[in-house]
Chain A
């Protein structure tokens, strides 16, 4: 289970179910909040269902934590607004999100607005890989 196309059908089905939208409306590039109408409570439900379906544990705030990587808090954001350095790190991590959605004054509490269906596919793949690594150790 190491590529997007393998996990995508199940992820798409779960997202369609959680957001009560037709599966035909789901595609890798659709943003969950902006395009599919997700709300914060939906993310709780989505994470729970992905964890159950794929047998992984997805720590909350995982994406933001990984984006920050080695950046200190004030390197990543200032007064709730992502710095240029933070924005670059965000673009590199969320490489599946089109460039045009990364506004220069993006707030840290708006990061989740960027998440696409593909973002969650990548998250699942990453957590599955971590799981496989820890089993092999």
Chain B
């Protein structure tokens, strides 16, 4: 199953704006059970979908020369849950697309029935498309998914609450190395090349998606918080990630080491910093905010 989350592009203004759709199905794999026992899409997958949407705009605007990858996530905001069967409307706006300096700045929002559920704002470097993908293959894929139409004419599906699926393991770690209650947690995860998130990410150079890295961090943080707050994990929700930046590729078979540090709280809001390394080299840093109960 390919790590691709944009089903359709319905509107495209090159270098400026793009709108797409994503239907949530079982095959998305990345779910967890919320505190009400309902199966919810892992929020960071919506962030991934938005990033991929903007990548399509850059790909098309640059006439299949460049794509975006990684960079700095200024902010990711988790606003509401998304369920199997629902259709997500993905909208992205480019603030700056600079080919000379190879950088793009953008923000994007995912909504369900006009209710925003996830937002991101990012700065990403432009990477040669040919470095990661087969250009002809990408062109064919674009032809398949680019089906312009107005939002009103799109079929936007409702939640199908009869389905019950939970695959929570992809963002879990393998070993907890150190754990100081209420303070920090250090863990390790061996990145199996068979993991589904490596599929097609990317055909020419397989690298770990930033959203999986961030997903591991948020899961670990929830473990840390759940333990010392004495709350069930399902009650602790990731609300926001800020200033997450990644500076190197992580590849299959790498061992990812993650450190989560508890920074304190303001009433019901709990703050953590995260730090990731591979082979002793710093890879990613950032901060995250969590809530207990409703997001």
Contact = CB atoms under 8 A, between A and B. Distances in A.
Interface of A: 20, 39-42, 44-45, 47-48, 60
Contacts, number: 29
B247 A40 contact: yes
A47 B123 CA distance: 11
The interface size bin for chain B is 10 to 19
A50 to B, nearest CB: 13
Contacts of B287: 20
Contacts of B125: 41, 44
Residue among B71, B100, B123, B287 with most chain A CB within 10 A: B123
Contacts of B103: 44, 48
B290 to A, nearest CB: 18
A41 to B, nearest CB: 6
A44 B100 CA distance: 12
Nearest to A44: B103
B123 A45 contact: yes
B273 to A, nearest CB: 9
A20 B72 CA distance: 12
A20 B243 CA distance: 7
Interface string B103-141: 101000000000000000001010000000000000000
B275 to A, nearest CB: 12
B245 A42 contact: yes
A58 B152 CA distance: 42
Given A20-B287, A45-B72, A60-B101, A39 B123 contact: no
A44 B101 contact: yes
Contact of A60 (B71, B100, B105): B100
A20 B247 CA distance: 15
B96 interface: yes
Contacts of B243: 20
A20 B275 CA distance: 13
B58 to A, nearest CB: 15
A44 B122 CA distance: 12
B45 interface: no
B246 to A, nearest CB: 8
Given A39-B247, A48-B105, A60-B100, 7 more contacts: A20-B285, A41-B71, A41-B125, A41-B245, A44-B71, A44-B101, A44-B125
A48 B71 contact: no
A126 to B, nearest CB: 18
B245 A39 contact: yes
Contacts of A45: 72, 123
Contacts of A41: 71-72, 123, 125, 245, 247
Contacts of A42: 72, 245
The 5 lowest CB-CB distance pairs between A and B, nearest first, are: A60-B101, A20-B243, A44-B103, A45-B123, A39-B247
A37 to B, nearest CB: 9
B121 to A, nearest CB: 11
